[in-house]
Structures are given as C-alpha cells and as structure tokens.
Structure 1
Amino acid sequence: MSVDGLNGQACGQQKVLTLDSMNPYAKKVEYAVRGPIVLRAMAIEKELQEGIKKPFCEVIKANIGDAHAMGQKPITFIRQVLALCTYPPLLCDPSMPEDAKSRARKILAACAGHSIGAYTASQGIEAIRQSVANYIEKRDGGISSNPDNIFLATGASDAIVTTLKLLVSGKGKGRTGVMIPIPQYPLYSAAIADLGAVQVNYYLDEDNCWALNIDELRRALYQARQHCNPKVLCTINPGNPTGQVQTRQVIKEVIQFAAEERLFLLADEVYQDNVYADGCQFHSFKKVLFEMGAGYSDVVELASFHSVSKCYMGECGFRGGYVEYVNLDPDVKAQLMKLVSVHLCPPVSGQTILGVITDPPQAGEPSYHSFLNEKTCVLRSLAERARLTEEVFRGVPGIRCNPVQGAMYSFPRINIPPRAIDAAQAAGQAPDMFFCMKLLEETGICVVPGSGFGQAEGTYHFRMTILPQTDKLMELLTRVKDFYQSFTAQYG
C-alpha cells in the first residue's frame, strides 16, 4: 500500500484517547476553586485588556488563598535564605545577615554538590526533616517527633493524595470510604473521585459556628457501612472553607471515635498559625493524641499535614509541605518509600523554605526582631480582615456569616429568592453558581459558589478569601454587599 494510502487510512481512524476510552475516574474529578467561574474571570481580564468596557476596571480574584497574589509581601528572612541557596556567591555579600547565611550553609551542605539544583532523597533532605521534627516537638510541648516518620512533599496537597493512595482499596461494598467534612476543601472530593474511592459526607454544624459533631460522624459512618468500607476520617483544622477552630475537647472526641471505629485519621493542619478569634487556640491532633495516653497514642494511626503556602508565609508557588505519620505500619512505610520515589523528590526550593520556617531566627540573632515583626504584622492584619469581613456581612439582611475564627476564608450563607432559583434552573446552573457568575459579570468580583464545597440541601453559600489588603478588601465587601441588595431586589 502507498504512503498516501496509509495516511488516508490513518486519517479515518478514531483517536485512541476519547471521552469514552479515557479513565472514567478522571472524568469525575471537579475542583471548584479553579472551576468555570475562574475561567470566566480570566476571560473577562483579557476583555478588559482589549479595551472592552465593563462596569468595573479590574477583576478581584477572591477565589483562592494565594497571599502574594493578593499583595502580601514575602517574609524577608525566608527570601534571603532562599536567595543565598539559589545563588551561593551571595554568601560573601556583607549585606546579607549572618543568621540567614548560617541556615543557607546548613541546607547547601545537605545537598548533593552543595546545590539546590540537585535531586534530594525522595523523602526529602534529612537535615530539613530533622528541622521539621524539632519544630513539631517545640509546637507540641516536647512530645517526641521522629524525622524518619516525616515525608517532605510538593505542598500538603501532594502529601494528602499520596496518603490516600495508600489507603484506597477493595471493590464494590468493600471499596474504601473516606469521611470528609461538608463543607470541604475540594482537593478531597477530587482525590477521592480520581482514586475511585467512596466519598462519605459528614456535615459541620453551621448553627454552632461550623462545629464538628460526633453524633453526626457516627450517623455518616453507620450509614456508609451499608455500601462501602469507611476506614479514613479527614478533618481540617482550622477549617477551609468554614474558618472554624476546633476545641481540644472536640479533637479528643474525634480521636476516641477513630479509635473505637478503627479509622485512619488525616489531620489537615495547614492553617495552624491562622487563629484570630478570642478564646480560640490551635491544638494539633498529635499533641492531643499523646496527651490521651498509651491506650490511644500507641494505636491510632494518624497523618498530619502542614504547608509553606498558608499561615504568615504564603509561599504558594514554591510548593513545599510535609506529612508526619504516627503508628504507620512498617511494611506500609516501605511501600510508601517506593511510591514517593517514583516522583524522584519534592521541589528543593520548597524544601528550603520548610527548613527556614521550622528553624526561624532566635532571640539574639540579627534577623530576630525584623522576622518577628513581619510575621506578627501579617497575622495581626489577617485577624483585622477576618473581623471586618464578618462585621460587613452581618450588617446585610439575607446574608449570614459565622465568625472567621481562623484560616483565610469566609463562607457566608445567602438567601436566594425563589425567582432567582427559577432563573438559575432555566440557565442550567446551581443557584449559588448563578449568583456568583452574575456577581462576577456585574462587579468583577470572583468568588466560589458553596456548591463546589458541599453544603446542606436547601442552603446556599459562597467562599471568599480575606487575603486582599484591607483597602481592597473593603472595596470588595462593599461591592458584594451592594450587588446582593440589588440582586435580591431584582428577583425578590
């Protein structure tokens, strides 16, 4: 047959990869934080650049917790150490502080060829894992942390997905069920869908400031056991998108529940420095677990996660995070080592930042006061923005907003008039998506509908970050408030 004949035959063939032939689990993955409303926001930005007239001059993206994109300045000491590690000749620069240089030398000495451009161990640089262990011990009041149980990762998200990969197994009614809070961070629903696991929803109590209720955990577990094998319990503290901070008593009850029902605990603690409300305090699951004694600390399997992307750092783009495992089966740990080796190693720049935040300047070092001042200013400003957000929304009839006790988001509940619900259905959209899309088109404000996080049936919410700088946040809140009032007037 001629070459032309082969080409003609090939042109008539169906593609190997089609919607029908692709991985069915991948088709089920949804991630609202970067979903269709964000794609529309990006399109509107291009339209503005092309000179197309809008009722606003810029898009304010309040859909994602990206601190630096919202104007937060990097912490100087973090960037100094990173710069020194990236370009070691700066170690001879007298303008660089000695404490930054000492940390850079320590990190470079632990790298092959004294370069952060080299691969590291798949588990992460040993010296940085030791630094993370020291940080955890100090945070938890001296409770021991073993660096061999710590795995560095490409952000906390990567560590969460890797851990879920280990946990998911079985078929039919034996398929792994993963209990997640509703509202949830969509990483969890996306990963569960991608892995072919079963999502088991337990609902947070909105009327009690999004508290976690053990009776609701028990209801969700017993109901799920009729169609799957629930063996994973995820909790997010401080909460995303809900902003609540769990009390020590609630954490203790969750651990007792996990022990009684033989559940593997995943503790997402990436917002552990972001606690604002009076009377609230962050308690790590590991600390509470060990304070409960050997009957629990020797038995309950726990994975806890942290990240450089949140808190006061906001270094999202460097993709650094870690997971610490407690009571992980040694044979499973060997399989985990194999699994992480497939990805070679986490980004070394992200590992470097982990090394800095877990070994910050100490009293007496040259950078101590400036570092502490920058960190305190960031957290104090976030606390003020949390208070401001709650205050403005609480003053709007039809909007109900719980206190933002921690994290970086507000998750207000909105009353959507019946006529607007009908209009949404006619447009083929969820009512809160309809609201958020109109908000974007008319004001340039990009927030995420609550349906992307999960919510009690018949309720509607949206999530917005409190990260915009105070003047920009006040502008955002005012626009949302004015739009909501006109929206309800139009459809009321």
Structure 2
Amino acid sequence: VDTLQSVSAKCIKASWYFATHTLIFCALVDCQPALWKMTENCFMHHRTKVLTIDTMNPNVKKVEYAVRGPIVQRAVQIEKELKAGAKKPFSEVIRANIGDAHAMGQRPITFFRQVLALCSYPELLEGNEFPEDAKERARRILQACGGGSIGAYSASQGIECVRQDVARYIQERDGGIPCNPDNIYLSTGASDAIVTILKLLVCGEGRNRTGVMIPIPQYPLYSAALADLGAVQIEYYLDEENCWSLDVSELRRALVAAQQHCSPRALCIINPGNPTGQVQSRQCIEDVIRFAAEEHLFLMADEVYQDNVYAEGCEFHSFKKVLFEMGPEYSDTVELVSFHSTSKCYMGECGFRGGYMEVINMDPDVKVQLTKLVSVRLCPPVPGQALLDVVVNPPRPGEPSFNTYIKRTSTLQVLAEKAWLTEEVFNTVPGITCNPVQGAMYSFPRISLPERAIQQAKEKGQAPDMFYCMKLLEETGICLVPGSGFGQREGTYHFRMTILPPTDKLKIVLEKVKQFHQSFTQQYS
C-alpha cells in the first residue's frame, strides 16, 4: 500500500509538471509564432535522409555506363547553351556516341510502321490506305492480344504467335536446324534479356563468387550489370593487331588467372563486335564452343548486329548453327543463350524496345525459375513485341509490300560504304589507326596522345582519352565516347564513333576529328 501511494503521488506530481510546462509552451508559441518555426527548423535540420550516398546499395555506386556518361551529359548542357544564344565555334552538337539509327536520320521501314499503326489504331483496318499484307499481320497480332488490343498485358514469356514466328525465323536463318518456340523469351530489347540471364548465373561468396568472362573492349552494359549484381568481371582481351580477333589462348589465360579469386561460370561473346566491329570466323566460333565445353562454361552470344556485316570475305555465323553442326557431343551439352534485338541492323527501332533470347540446353528446373523471373516484370512492351513479329515475319515475294520492303538492303549498302569511308579517312591521320569496320555500327580507332596531354589529364583526374573527347566536344560539338569507357589495354587510348550519321554529315565529322587531332597533337607536343 505504501508503495502504491508513493507511485500515485509521483504520477500526480509529474502530470502537474507536464501540464504546467505545456501551458507555458503553448502560451509562448501563441505569443511568438517564430518560436515554433525555429523549433521545427531545428528538428528538420537534425533529421537525416533514410536513403543517402552512404546507406544506398554500394553496388550501384560501382556502376558506370560510358555511352551515356559525362561526355553526353555535357553535350546536353551545350545544346541548351546553344538554344539560349551562347556563341560556340559550332552551330550544333553531333551525337556520334550511340547507335541510335533514327536519331541519326535513318528512315524507318514503311511496312513496319504500317503494321504498328494498324495495331495501335485498329479502326484503320476498315480503310483502304494500307496494303493487305500489313493488315493481315496486324489482325493476327491483335487476335493474340487480350481484348484485341496491344494495350493489354501479354504472357510473361511473350505473345505465343510472335514466339512461333521468331522460332521459324531462327530455323530459316540456320538452314533448317529446329527451333522450339518454348525456348524463346521475348524481352525489352536484348539488354533486359542479358541482365536477366546474368541474374540467374550470379551466386556464391568470396572465392566462390560467380565470375563472368567478357571481352575487352566490351559494351559497358556487361560491366555495369556485373557491378550491379556484385559478380566478378573476368576480362579477356581482343587482339587489336589482328583486327580485334579472339584467340582461345587469351581466353585460357584469363580463365586461369580468375580461378584464383572467383568461380568462372559464363563466357560472353559479342559478334559482330561492339565497339570493335569485328566479325568472327566460323573457325573462331568452333574454338570458343570447344573451350566452353571443356571448361564447363555457360555461353552467352550477343548477336544483335547479325545483319550488319560489310567487309568482303566476312559472314555472320550464329553460335546456335555452329553448335548444332558440331554434332551431339556439343549440341546436347553446351548451355547457350543467344540474343537479338529490333534496335540495330537495318531496322534501328531502338525506342520500341523489342528483342528476344533463345535458350539451349538449359536445365528444366532453371527454366522454370527463368519464367518466374521474367513474370515479375509482367511482360515486355507489347508494341515492341508486335514490331519484332514483323521483323522476323516480313513481306514475302508476291505480297503487295515486298518490292518496297526489299529496298531495305540499300540501308545496309550505305552503312557498308560509310564503314569503308570511316576506316579510310582515319588511317590518313598521323596518330590515328583504325581497323576495318567489318560489321556492327562503330569504329574504334586507336589514338596516340602526347605525354603532356596525358599528364594534364591525370592532373584533372581524368582518363587521357576522356580528356581528349571532352576537348573535342567543347571545340567541335562532336560527341564521342572515350575508349576507357569500354576497356582497353593499359597504355592504349581509343574512342568509339558510330558510322550512322548521313554520309554528308559523316564526312564533316571525320574532317573535324582529323583537324582536331592534328591541332590537339600540336598543342600538347
């Protein structure tokens, strides 16, 4: 009882104390509104963000993507400055940093856009403005969509009839080697499919952490995705002295070195190459497949530039075709996934984000997990799926649109001419050497930089070729990507430039780069 009385007295005293001070505080606030504001500001000042640079996912901070990095960000600022009336030694920024065909002036394929227009606005099917073969494809796609609309979700793996058309396309491309639509996964461009497969592959800790072999130079999607996933990047070098060829002895060197600190599980190949533009020979592909089989590696074949082959004597060979032609010893065992996209080739439809991957010899239980993983994102963009369908199922001989469609070959011919022009001009410039652009959409010339320029770049905390490309942008308005963003051998410097600008503009770009390099070399020599 005594204890209860004591506690009760203390509670009454505390209540009186709290009430009194509350009244005093309220009176002060009533009289002095600024006091409350000061208290609020003090509280807000000491409150920290939940998500800060120190508390965020550390892997994200390691991600770099040079294709849209600091050079491009500065290019955007310069464009705004020009619009605001700023005086520059040039009137426009020429973005030769990225393989964005339509942004560079390439015209879309009429048939593709007709089908997409019909799918987007089905009422057009009632008119006579569009050819019957375009209408037939649009009807087929719409019938496969929920509610007859491309605004509906599709199956996570992609619309079934589109996957069937992709399988038929692959089978025709590979000379009749069977292709099962169940092995086809439609995707948001090839990039999304590549990242999805890497997610399946990455596991382990420490020395057991997954290692993935990627070419150097490489397309920075790979290094960025591996950094994001916390995987180990295993670099193998392409041979610049031999037109960026791939030597299996270099693969083995990189593998043996990596086994000391990680568990190599996958090998990525880009063919035709990005940024290097080489086209691998059939013999090279066979050697790579044997290497993957011997070392028990999962093979990833990035083949998005398969239609972009220009050099005489070069030919695209799909990894799947070569794999199956090597016989059951390989075709029944080697795990392969290949990627393709609507963004490149003669289509250049980057914005629609259409693509696919085909999986070969994937463990059935893993395939279930893959289907589950893609279902988390619901489905790829349905307009992109519709576009992919007409890419793999174009007008056939005898159909109304065939004669117009077949003119697409002129796009590839023009690209071939620009590839040759780029190589020719760069190789006339002292201090620039450029391998033949055998395929894809880029040149990757090597540049010699004076020692003073290298030192000044280091003082600024920049890679020397970043320093070079930034000065090029500021003085000429030409936006390129430094080779350091793709990887390169120590002590060498490069830049990547797309061959996509119209021929007249490409000539201007090449001449400006030529003049700049001569001036830059003289300034820092």
- TM norm. shorter chain > 0.5: yes
- Counterpart CA distance in 1 for 2:46 and 2:377 is 38
1:425 paired to 2:489: no
> Displacement of 1:427 after TM fit?
1.5
1:127 paired to 2:155: no
Task: Decide which of 251, 264, 272 is 1:217's aligned counterpart.
Answer: 251
Letter in 2 for 1:316: C
The equivalent of 1:202 in structure 2 is: 236
The equivalent of 2:205 in structure 1 is: 171
5 Å-filtered alignment, 1:182-193, equals 182-193=216-227
Task: Decide which of 34, 59, 71 is 2:105's aligned counterpart.
Answer: 71
Structure 2: gaps (5+ residues): 1-21, 27-35
Higher mean alpha-carbon deviation, 254-263 vs 2-11, is at 2-11
Task: Decide which of 285, 288, 291 is 1:257's aligned counterpart.
Answer: 291
Letter in 2 for 1:388: L
The equivalent of 2:503 in structure 1 is: 470
Which consecutive segments of 4 or more residues in structure 1 shift more than 2 A? 1-11
- Which structure has the larger Rg? 2
State the Cα deviation string for residues 319-339 of structure 1 (Å, max 9, x = none): 010000000111001111111
Which secondary structure state, in structure 1, belongs to the residue aligned with residue 496 of structure 2? strand
State the Cα deviation string for residues 60-114 of structure 1 (Å, max 9, x = none): 0000000000000000000000000000011112120000000000000000000
The equivalent of 2:381 in structure 1 is: 347
- Counterpart CA distance in 2 for 1:95 and 1:352 is 20
- Give the TM-score of the pair, scaled to structure 1: 0.99
- Counterpart CA distance in 1 for 2:433 and 2:138 is 48
- Counterpart CA distance in 2 for 1:167 and 1:10 is 44
The equivalent of 1:313 in structure 2 is: 347
> Displacement of 1:8 after TM fit?
4.8
- Residue correspondences, number: 491
1:382 paired to 2:415: yes
1:273 paired to 2:307: yes
State the Cα deviation string for residues 104-149 of structure 1 (Å, max 9, x = none): 0000000000000000000000000000000000000000111101
1:445 paired to 2:512: no
- Counterpart CA distance in 1 for 2:182 and 2:389 is 16
Aligned residues: CA RMSD: 1.1
- Counterpart CA distance in 1 for 2:519 and 2:49 is 49
> Displacement of 1:18 after TM fit?
0.8
Structure 1: gaps (5+ residues): none
The equivalent of 1:18 in structure 2 is: 52
> Displacement of 1:7 after TM fit?
7.4
The equivalent of 1:38 in structure 2 is: 72
Letter in 1 for 2:515: D
Which secondary structure state, in structure 2, belongs to the residue aligned with residue 83 of structure 1? helix
- Counterpart CA distance in 1 for 2:303 and 2:54 is 39
5 Å-filtered alignment, 1:285-296, equals 285-296=319-330
- Counterpart CA distance in 1 for 2:63 and 2:515 is 34
The equivalent of 1:47 in structure 2 is: 81
1:486 paired to 2:504: no
- Counterpart CA distance in 2 for 1:339 and 1:247 is 34
- Counterpart CA distance in 1 for 2:307 and 2:371 is 29
The equivalent of 1:246 in structure 2 is: 280
> Displacement of 1:10 after TM fit?
4.7
> Displacement of 1:423 after TM fit?
1.2
> Displacement of 1:426 after TM fit?
1.5
State the Cα deviation string for residues 379-409 of structure 1 (Å, max 9, x = none): 0000000000000001111100000000000
- Counterpart CA distance in 1 for 2:383 and 2:143 is 15
Letter in 2 for 1:429: Q
Which secondary structure state, in structure 1, belongs to the residue aligned with residue 106 of structure 2? coil
Which secondary structure state, in structure 2, belongs to the residue aligned with residue 271 of structure 1? coil
State the Cα deviation string for residues 182-238 of structure 1 (Å, max 9, x = none): 000000000000000000000000000000010000000000000000011000000
1:114 paired to 2:145: no
Letter in 1 for 2:487: G
> Displacement of 1:172 after TM fit?
0.2
